[in-house]
A and B are shown apart, each in its own frame.
Chain A
Amino acid sequence: MNSLLLTARLDIVESLRARWFLLYSLVFGGIVALLFAFGLTESRVLGFIGLSRLLVTYIQLTMAILPIFVLITTVRSVAGDREAGVFEYLLSLPVSLSAWFWGKILGRYVTIFLPVFVAMFGAVLWAQFKAIEVPWEMFFYYTGLLAAMAWCFLGIGMLISTLARSTDVAQGAAFIVWLSMLLFLDLILLGVMIQGRVAPEVAVGIALLNPLQVFRTASLAMFDPQLIVLGPSAYVILDLFGSAGFRVYALLYPLAIGSLAALVGFLTFRRSDLP
């Protein structure tokens, strides 16, 4: 087995033993269990019933929880490992820096994506068992969306871990990044538009650069292809991308952001002091 896979396996084994992973898995498994327990599959919203209703709610909740979870746990463990002297020892072994960095990302990606996916897949299996119809197209698209979201925030988390020299700074920076994205979902953009300082197209453009907004809009687009709930902003988005085009953009853009952040993180890591 090469060094990259060995490092990935090492990170997976470390993560499986960490408390954050247990909490993380319980949160997503618990969400699905609660949604079933409260009979969400029987309720109807916007014409949606059955597993579609559950999946829509699940992805909305996941979008609220996953980014901050991924950011905080990634920066805590990587910066924490560096502070505790783990890097000093493990990086004295003959493993290349690229194998180490990308192996760590790969391992971490498996541990953050798997619980989210397994919870959703569990819901699908349960639905099949209970003879509830499974909206496969929605399931596969949401799986892709979750995979892109996990990669996006993992890349950003690794970049912050590489730049910050202590756990406290890394955690603070991760929180600020997440808060900024959250504020740019609605609050700041609305304020800016109300003051009339920017054109609506610019405000929508800024919103579309925000990965959180992209996920939110893409998940809405699955059950509201015309994006009626977004109001006039929908015209800008649909004119620019089209309905199918936006769904592709919502997968590719976060992947690009995550990859770019991870690449910058790697280049910085390679040039800086390791422990």
Chain B
Amino acid sequence: MIRFENVGKDFRKIRVLDGVELEIGLGERIALIGSNGAGKTTLIRCLLGEYTHQGKVTIDGQQPRAERTQVLGKVGFVPQLPPPLKMPVGQLVTFAAAVCGSDSQRIYAVARRLGLEVAPIMARPFNRLSGGMKQKLLIAIALGRDAQVLVMDEPAANLDPEARHIFFSLLAERLENTTMIISSHRLDEVAPLVNRVVEMDTGRIVLDDRVVEDAKLSALFQVHLTLARADAAIAKTLIAWQFADRGQGLEWHGTVSGPDRLRFMGTVSRYVGLLSRIEMKEVDAAVVLQ
């Protein structure tokens, strides 16, 4: 489906991409990881036809630069940093829906599922929205159309736990017929979302490996924590994860998305000295969300 053939890119004699060879099939979910300057963003921009480059990039045999409208019509993109657009939300959605051959209502429906009601903010400039609202809207624009390829740069970074879970569920609905490339600095942020990891360093692919994950993207886990003593720092962290205090700061209950388990465990591990019990059990997501 997507092919990078000996792709190279220089910026003022600095080699940023160096002979990248990569083939990605339909339905694959790639974690594109690497430190700053590894070449992830440059590779994504070559895929989006935004950079000129050496070598060849194709999606279904078509080149994104030469056949922009046909190729980009199949690609949904969520950037890491939301663009500082001054246009009203309604205008942005109308424009995106029109050029993508989609329907504004479909985008609003996805936004609503992510917890963003668009009607009250239609006239508000996009750059005046909060970080989370911007991210939800950009995700809604990318998912509110028939994209065969989703390219996302740290897509869930600004989302609250509930929106993250819904986002993962939305991705789960597209597993069969969508290829996903998710870029991140850290593997633990995206590992549960993907089935293949590609690591880049100094413009080259240094690792290309498979990921085994039995839990579904839409899975939900009920978590019960017991603390040895109440502590303000862990309480603040758990409240941020939308956990409820069931016993004077000692007993905490909440739910964690399947793909967020690793991230949650990493967060809680900072307070391991305070933990006297931790229980995690998969539950029916449909029942819990009601």
If A14-B86, A93-B96 touch, whether A85 touches B45 (CB-CB below 8 Å) is no
Q: How far is the CB of A22 from chain B (nearest CB, A)?
A: 13
Does A17 lie within 8 Å of B87, measured CB to CB?
Answer: yes
Does A94 lie within 8 Å of B84, measured CB to CB?
Answer: no
Residue-wise, chain B 59-96 has the 8 Å CB interface mask toward A (1 for contact) of 00000000011111101010101111111100100011
How distant is the Cα of A227 from the Cα of B71 in the complex, in angstroms? Answer: 58
How distant is the Cα of A87 from the Cα of B101 in the complex, in angstroms? Answer: 20
**Which residues of the other chain, A, contact B84 by a CB distance below 8 angstroms?**
84-86
Which of the residues B72, B79, B87, B151 comes within 8 Å of A94, measured between beta carbons?
A: B72
Q: How far is the CB of B23 from chain A (nearest CB, A)?
A: 22
Judged by a CB distance under 8 angstroms, whether A132 is at the interface is no
Q: Decide if the interface of chain B is mainly helix, strand, loop or mixed.
A: mixed
Does A1 lie within 8 Å of B98, measured CB to CB?
Answer: yes
Does A17 lie within 8 Å of B86, measured CB to CB?
Answer: yes
**Which residues of the other chain, B, contact A274 by a CB distance below 8 angstroms?**
50-51
Which of the residues B72, B81, B87, B138 comes within 8 Å of A10, measured between beta carbons?
A: B87
Which of the residues A10, A84, A97, A271 comes within 8 Å of B83, measured between beta carbons?
A: A84
**Which residues of the other chain, A, contact B51 by a CB distance below 8 angstroms?**
273-275
How distant is the Cα of A6 from the Cα of B87 in the complex, in angstroms? Answer: 13
Q: How far is the CB of A74 from chain B (nearest CB, A)?
A: 16
**Which residues of the other chain, B, contact A94 by a CB distance below 8 angstroms?**
68-73, 75, 99-101
Which of the residues B50, B69, B81, B91 comes within 8 Å of A92, measured between beta carbons?
A: B50
Give chain A's interface residue range (CB within 8 Å of chain B): 20 to 34
Residue-wise, chain A 91-124 has the 8 Å CB interface mask toward B (1 for contact) of 1111111000000000000000000000000000
Does A10 lie within 8 Å of B50, measured CB to CB?
Answer: no
Judged by a CB distance under 8 angstroms, whether A198 is at the interface is no
Total interface residues in chain B, CB < 8 Å: 32
How distant is the Cα of A13 from the Cα of B88 in the complex, in angstroms? Answer: 8
If A6-B95, A86-B85, A273-B50 touch, whether A92 touches B77 (CB-CB below 8 Å) is yes
Does A85 lie within 8 Å of B83, measured CB to CB?
Answer: yes
If A92-B72, A92-B77, A93-B99 touch, whether A272 touches B52 (CB-CB below 8 Å) is yes
Judged by a CB distance under 8 angstroms, whether A38 is at the interface is no
Judged by a CB distance under 8 angstroms, whether B48 is at the interface is yes
Judged by a CB distance under 8 angstroms, whether B125 is at the interface is yes
Q: How far is the CB of B136 from chain A (nearest CB, A)?
A: 15
How distant is the Cα of A3 from the Cα of B69 in the complex, in angstroms? Answer: 10
**Which residues of the other chain, A, contact B70 by a CB distance below 8 angstroms?**
94
If A13-B88, A14-B87, A90-B83 touch, whether A95 touches B50 (CB-CB below 8 Å) is no
**Which residues of the other chain, B, contact A6 by a CB distance below 8 angstroms?**
95, 98-99
Residue-wise, chain B 96-108 has the 8 Å CB interface mask toward A (1 for contact) of 1011110000000
How distant is the Cα of A93 from the Cα of B45 in the complex, in angstroms? Answer: 12
Closest to B51 in A: A273
Judged by a CB distance under 8 angstroms, whether A192 is at the interface is no
Does A17 lie within 8 Å of B125, measured CB to CB?
Answer: yes
How distant is the Cα of A1 from the Cα of B99 in the complex, in angstroms? Answer: 9
Q: How far is the CB of B30 from chain A (nearest CB, A)?
A: 17
Closest to A93 in B: B99
How distant is the Cα of A89 from the Cα of B69 in the complex, in angstroms? Answer: 15
Judged by a CB distance under 8 angstroms, whether A125 is at the interface is no
Q: How far is the CB of A238 from chain B (nearest CB, A)?
A: 49
**Which residues of the other chain, A, contact B98 by a CB distance below 8 angstroms?**
1, 6
**Which residues of the other chain, A, contact B69 by a CB distance below 8 angstroms?**
3, 94-96
Does A89 lie within 8 Å of B77, measured CB to CB?
Answer: yes
Which 5 pairs from chain A and chain B are nearest by CB? A94-B72, A92-B77, A94-B73, A89-B83, A274-B50
Residues on A lying within 8 angstroms of B by beta carbon are 1, 3, 6, 9-10, 13-14, 17-18, 84-97, 271-275
Residues on B lying within 8 angstroms of A by beta carbon are 45, 48, 50-52, 68-73, 75, 77, 79, 81-88, 91, 95-96, 98-101, 125, 138, 151
New A-B contacts (11) at CB < 8 Å, excluding given A84-B83, A94-B70: A6-B99, A9-B95, A10-B91, A87-B50, A88-B50, A89-B79, A92-B75, A93-B96, A94-B71, A273-B52, A274-B51
A–B Cβ pairs within 8 angstroms, 24 of them: A6-B99, A9-B95, A10-B87, A13-B87, A84-B83, A85-B79, A87-B50, A88-B83, A89-B83, A92-B48, A92-B50, A92-B75, A92-B77, A93-B99, A94-B69, A94-B70, A94-B99, A94-B101, A95-B68, A95-B99, A96-B69, A273-B52, A274-B50, A275-B50
